[in-house]
Structure 1
Amino acid sequence: MGRRAKEAGAARVYSVVIVIAVLCYINALQGDFVHDDIPALTTNPDVLGTSPLQNLFNNDFWGTPMGDINSHKSYRPLTTLTFRASHWIAGLTPLWFHVGNVALHTLCCILFARATLAVAGLQTPFAAVSGLLFAAHPIHTEAVTGIVGRADVLACLFFLLSFLAYHDEAWWGREKRIFYSSLLAALSILAKETGVTVLLVNLLYDLYRSWPPVKRSIQDMRWNEESIQFARRAAKVFMVTSLLLVFRLAMLQGSLPRFSSQDNPSAFHPCPHVRLLTFCYLAAFNFWLLLCPATLSHDWQMGSIPLVTSLADYRNVATCLFFAGVLWLAYRIIADFESQKHAPLVLGALLLSLPFLPATNLLVTVGFVIAERVLYIPSLGLAMMVAYGAQMLYEKSSARSKTSVILSAGFCILLTSFGSRTLVRNLDWSSREALVRAGIQALPHNAKMHYNLGNFLRDTGKPELARTHYTEALRLWPSYASAHNNLGTLMPGAVDAEAHFLAAIRHSPGHVNAHYNLGQVYRKMNRSEEAVIMLERCLRLNAAYTPAYLLLAKLHSGPIVGRLLRHVNRLQPANADYLAQYAEWLQNNYRFEEAQRYYEKALRIQSDHKASFLGMAKTYRARGQKAQLHQLLLRWHMICCVQRRSRIVYTGDLYLRSWELYKPGQVTSLPEHAKPSHRLNHHHPHLACTNVEMAPLLVSGGETEEQTLDGLCALRDRAEKDMKPG
């Protein structure tokens, strides 16, 4: 009966945790792609399925090859694979990506509740408290509501599975627990790098539970059976950890990720004492966010937290209090190795501290100051320690009924405040505008927030307001290269734009877009030689930057143009626009057979590509292939009928008849007997064969000239590409 009652209590815990986890994120399901979701999902070929599946295991999280110098070096193929599966099932529909994140978070809550019951040994009501606090904690909104935060949630899922496989004997028993635990730890690392810390947590908690026989063995200077078994497990864990670390280092492929001072100012400060004081304060600040998540932001870069430059800074008081608490906690844990009475306290401290180590800048330099998503796994430890503290107060109380009422009321207030804060924070992540405005409200002195808001205002057609926020970003952070670049794209005068692009290059010599944009400005100012120099520098920084090749092709003439366009097609072989552009150059140079091959390739990629239809028609005309031209016009006619679903008048015969009656170079207009029938608009200009332009092939019957379907000739000349933001 006792076992059955315990199982029933555990089932109730899991049920209530599931309900709260879903309710706290129910309003997140309607959110859009925002912030890092856009580059990581909507433009990532590994997610969209436009790249081979094996590329997913060679590229970083953002779709860049790991060996590329510009790679972020974040190797998370398992997370990317889940994104690819979501896209394969439902396309780029944000709803199903959010559903996946909430489902994974719910599973993590269930597994954590299991760990508190089966491994930590919390009483059932207090295990429910820990699970509910974790389910509703507002610090998790970036990881759960932000779609790219799935990396942290998925890593936590396999983290908990690995921990339970190692320490919960009801799962796989004692014989194969190291194997299954190591396998799940490897999956956690493939979801996100911080998953490697589960191996340390497993080993140290195993040491805690095995300490009495291990201590006896040390004192007696003689192995006993329990210490031998622990030594074997420790050796296996060390071996697996070493192999996984070697694999992860090998995936760096000879280079480390590149960060800048604006990403993590404290890590790049020249004074060691400033770095130490700031890092220590940041650890205390992260702990405060776990305790009181009142101020939350999706980005804490660029002056959000000023550097601690002296001992007189009042923030050092908070640092001292935090580390005093850490020392007291360490003392209690060491003392408990002897008594073995406070397992939840020891396990909570391990979960709180070890997964946070990679974010402290003590082991490696990271590209952020504060990142709320990295607190997803450490919050497990805090939730467990809070629940265990409440359990100790209840057990030591002489009036348990009153204590139970007080603790229940306090927990309800805390859970309500956490849940409501999470629901409100979910709304901040619902759209790009909501997120950037929430960021400005939370951190008005953060230059990155003004830059992000400026980007949003620029993209929504409000350039004046965008310039205001770019200017404010530069006031707060004068060396902000991307703000200089984007402000330059909004300058009405070429001189002002040039000044901002030069400033961007001065502060960030590797800024590719600034070099390209400066080349654009020089081209408009007729400073062609300087434009070429800038574009060549741009290509030295990024040899695959296709807009620079296209602009160079406009600045050059002769065979070099063909070589540039051919190289663009090597870089982007599946781009119909680039294929048609090179085919047009071939056609203009009387290489009609080659041009035709490229037009056909473009049409295989995009069957309704208008520029390729136009080019093919010109090629057939130049080669005298009237039958093929007639078939091409019929094909275009059918495509337009399907797309427009309207009454269409076919004028291909008119074009062919005009071709037969008037040879190139004879006239510039059609005579009366060759004019179109009364069903067509007589005011619409029809160019005869003197030019390479052709008459509109398809005209909507009975409509005005403004309502007619655009002819192929309207797309002959490609518009000049806009300047590149960012």
Structure 2
Amino acid sequence: MGVTDPAHVGTSARLTTRPWQAALIAGLLAIVVAAPSIRNGFVADDQWVVANRQVLEQPPSVGAVLKEPYWPASFGGVMWRPAVISSFALDYRVSTSPHWFHAINVLWAVVATALFTLLACDLAGPVVGLITGLLFAVHPVHVEAVANVVGRAEMMAAAGYAAAHLCAVRAERKPAYLAGVAAGAAFAIMSKEIAVTLPAAVLLVLWARRADLRLAWRAVGAATVPIVAYFIIQGLVGIRTLYAGGLAVGLEHVGFFARAWAMVRLSLDWWRLFLFPAHLSADYSPGELTVSTGLTIWHLLGLLIWLGAGVVAWRTRRTIPGIAIGLAWMVITISPVANIVFPTEFLIAERTLYLASFGIVLALACAVSAIRSPRLRISVVAALVAAGAARSIARIPAWHDDETHYQALKHEAPRSYRTLWLNGKDEFAAGHWGSGEQLLRQAIAFAPSLAGPRYDLGTFYMRAKLWQPAIRQLQAAVAVDSAFEPARDALRQALQAAGDTARTR
């Protein structure tokens, strides 16, 4: 029995929904949900990656844009995403308004949703495909990718990823589609490095469809070649760093197995965001999250959930294989941001779950389609779509501007070291030195290996002419980041002001 057999999806064989109709309906819903984001401005990372970036506004040449790193030189000039950078440069040819950039983001949300709907139709039939597309279009975890301009990287990579799979499936009948697999892979990897998992996902899908083994490996090869070429070219253009901000705070100096164990606990938030995304946040950092390599009840709960997911996948691999495929897809596509094989700069970020969420909504759609009562099935889908759309639309304004985003951050992640750090600086700026000092010390306690909060506290001490406390904080800042020149300069000034000329040399 194949993965698209009607027996797997209840009444799908008796319904006449066609794949293109399912894709159209899901795409239209994606427009409705994402359209309010057009009112947003440039927020957070947009300010450094997109806004007022001369090489994008007035590019000297096409080659200069293609060689431009994703992060500007002031942020280390790291990461190479030529497809996304080129799309921003093209946007500037039309308008400098952030509303135009957001309108293009809405378009990419529609494209990705439609392509994933078609892929779900290929995997489990048009009814499951339609339900998958509807759930994908409204999933609240996508808001950060859609409503923030830099989130375009997630959607472009996902679109290329889905297109490569669609071509891989069609290559079963026409091998010429293997060229489409390669093109989709190239576009995806040039949009974001998360596409490195594409060959494994292609193998999963073709294995699930029981495709000819030789064809499956040819498709895997077609997906692999552009990805390997990307990393070779990346080195040739002189951009070698895969992440911009160093290791995630809380995971520094932690080995492979300890990281994996710490992420077992943190993965509970992945499941919550996939299945119960009522609470959303732009920040998941120490203070708000606890990084632990010990044995806690939360680790045991995490293990239990992963084991349960494995059992569900195994038990449904023949009866409702779409569930097993979806869960396996999630494991494959979340691996680059799981801080296990590839350590990253963050513990959890909602926008990085965009690609992996397809696996979850596919599994949910297959489970819902197995409900025997048509009325109950429709009611469940309607309730899920309505709840997802309402939460997504309500969340979009949090990304309207920097001040709104900051206020949302204080509400959503009040204990995060980032929030405490920013609040502390605000308190100092307002003349509330006591509370400012307390907040910065709390931030330092949650992120002791980070130089920034120590540097800021040290400079505030310098303004108050509290030289010895300033020296202690600045020395600690230099100790954790010897390359942080502002801390070195401030330390020399503090030592000189304190009369300690011996240590200023």
TM-score by length of 1: 0.61
| Count of matched residue positions in the alignment of Structure 1 and Structure 2 | 487
Corresponding residue for 2:301?
Answer: 318
Q: 1:389 aligns with which of 367, 375, 380?
A: 367
Classify 1:453/1:50 alpha carbon distance in 2 versus 1 (closer, same or farther; 3 Å).
farther
Classify 1:39/1:26 alpha carbon distance in 2 versus 1 (closer, same or farther; 3 Å).
same
Shift of 1:245: 4.8
Cα pair 2:251 2:259 within 8 Å, conserved: yes
Cα pair 1:24 1:422 within 8 Å, conserved: yes
TM-align CA RMSD: 3.3
Classify 1:273/1:113 alpha carbon distance in 2 versus 1 (closer, same or farther; 3 Å).
closer
Q: 1:366 aligns with which of 317, 329, 344?
A: 344
Shift of 1:121: 3.3
Classify 1:10/1:445 alpha carbon distance in 2 versus 1 (closer, same or farther; 3 Å).
same
Classify 1:290/1:72 alpha carbon distance in 2 versus 1 (closer, same or farther; 3 Å).
farther
**Does residue 76 in structure 1 map to residue 81 in structure 2?**
yes
Deviations 1:608-640 (A, max 9, x none): xxxxxxxxxxxxxxxxxxxxxxxxxxxxxxxxx
**Does residue 120 in structure 1 map to residue 129 in structure 2?**
no
Structure 1: gaps spanning 5 or more residues? 212-225, 395-402, 534-726
SS at match of 1:377: helix
Cα pair 1:266 1:279 within 8 Å, conserved: no
Identity %: 20
Classify 1:410/1:204 alpha carbon distance in 2 versus 1 (closer, same or farther; 3 Å).
closer
Structure 2: gaps spanning 5 or more residues? 1-13
Equivalent residues in 2 for 1:10-159 (5 A)?
10=19, 12-49=21-58, 52-64=61-73, 71=76, 73-91=78-96, 93-117=97-121, 119-124=122-127, 126-159=128-161
Cα pair 2:194 2:336 within 8 Å, conserved: yes
**Does residue 438 in structure 1 map to residue 374 in structure 2?**
no
Classify 1:235/1:11 alpha carbon distance in 2 versus 1 (closer, same or farther; 3 Å).
closer
Task: Give the aligned residue type for 1:269.
Answer: V
Cα pair 2:199 2:223 within 8 Å, conserved: yes
Shift of 1:327: 2.2
Shift of 1:128: 2.2
**Does residue 182 in structure 1 map to residue 182 in structure 2?**
yes
Corresponding residue for 2:281?
Answer: 297
Shift of 1:473: 2.1
Task: Give the aligned residue type for 2:374.
Answer: S
Cα distance between partner residues in 1 of 2:325 and 2:152: 25
Task: Give the aligned residue type for 1:112.
Answer: F
Structure showing greater relative contact order (alpha-carbon pairs closer than 8 Å, 6 or more residues apart): 2
Deviations 1:97-150 (A, max 9, x none): 111111100111111122222x113243x4222111111111011111111111
Cα distance between partner residues in 2 of 1:129 and 1:511: 51
TM-score by length of 2: 0.85
Equivalent residues in 2 for 1:225-264 (5 A)?
226-230=212-216, 232-237=218-223, 239=225, 241-247=227-233, 260=246, 263-264=248-249
Task: Give the aligned residue type for 1:266.
Answer: L
Cα distance between partner residues in 2 of 1:245 and 1:200: 17
Shift of 1:244: 4.4
Cα distance between partner residues in 1 of 2:293 and 2:217: 45
Cα distance between partner residues in 1 of 2:135 and 2:50: 30
Cα pair 1:32 1:431 within 8 Å, conserved: yes
Which structure has the larger Rg? 1
Q: 2:254 aligns with which of 249, 269, 284?
A: 269
Deviations 1:359-416 (A, max 9, x none): 122322111100111110111111111111111223xxxxxxxx22222222222222
Cα distance between partner residues in 2 of 1:329 and 1:252: 45
Deviations 1:505-552 (A, max 9, x none): 233222122223445667888999977x5xxxxxxxxxxxxxxxxxxx
Cα distance between partner residues in 2 of 1:63 and 1:13: 40
Cα distance between partner residues in 2 of 1:252 and 1:204: 34
Cα distance between partner residues in 1 of 2:401 and 2:303: 39
Q: 2:482 aligns with which of 494, 499, 509?
A: 509
**Does residue 404 in structure 1 map to residue 374 in structure 2?**
yes
Corresponding residue for 2:4?
Answer: none
Corresponding residue for 1:470?
Answer: 440
Cα distance between partner residues in 1 of 2:45 and 2:431: 23
Shift of 1:76: 0.7
Classify 1:39/1:19 alpha carbon distance in 2 versus 1 (closer, same or farther; 3 Å).
same
Which is further off, 343-352 or 294-303?
343-352
Cα distance between partner residues in 2 of 1:145 and 1:482: 28
SS at match of 1:74: coil
Corresponding residue for 2:421?
Answer: 451
Cα pair 2:398 2:405 within 8 Å, conserved: yes
Cα pair 1:445 1:476 within 8 Å, conserved: no
Classify 1:453/1:18 alpha carbon distance in 2 versus 1 (closer, same or farther; 3 Å).
farther
Classify 1:530/1:87 alpha carbon distance in 2 versus 1 (closer, same or farther; 3 Å).
farther
Cα pair 1:45 1:63 within 8 Å, conserved: no
Task: Give the aligned residue type for 2:323.
Answer: L
Cα pair 2:246 2:344 within 8 Å, conserved: no
Corresponding residue for 2:8?
Answer: none
Classify 1:158/1:232 alpha carbon distance in 2 versus 1 (closer, same or farther; 3 Å).
closer
Cα pair 2:27 2:113 within 8 Å, conserved: yes
Shift of 1:298: 1.3
Corresponding residue for 2:163?
Answer: 161
Cα pair 1:72 1:257 within 8 Å, conserved: no
Shift of 1:181: 1.0
**Does residue 426 in structure 1 map to residue 396 in structure 2?**
yes
Task: Give the aligned residue type for 2:136.
Answer: F
Shift of 1:449: 1.4
SS at match of 2:175: coil
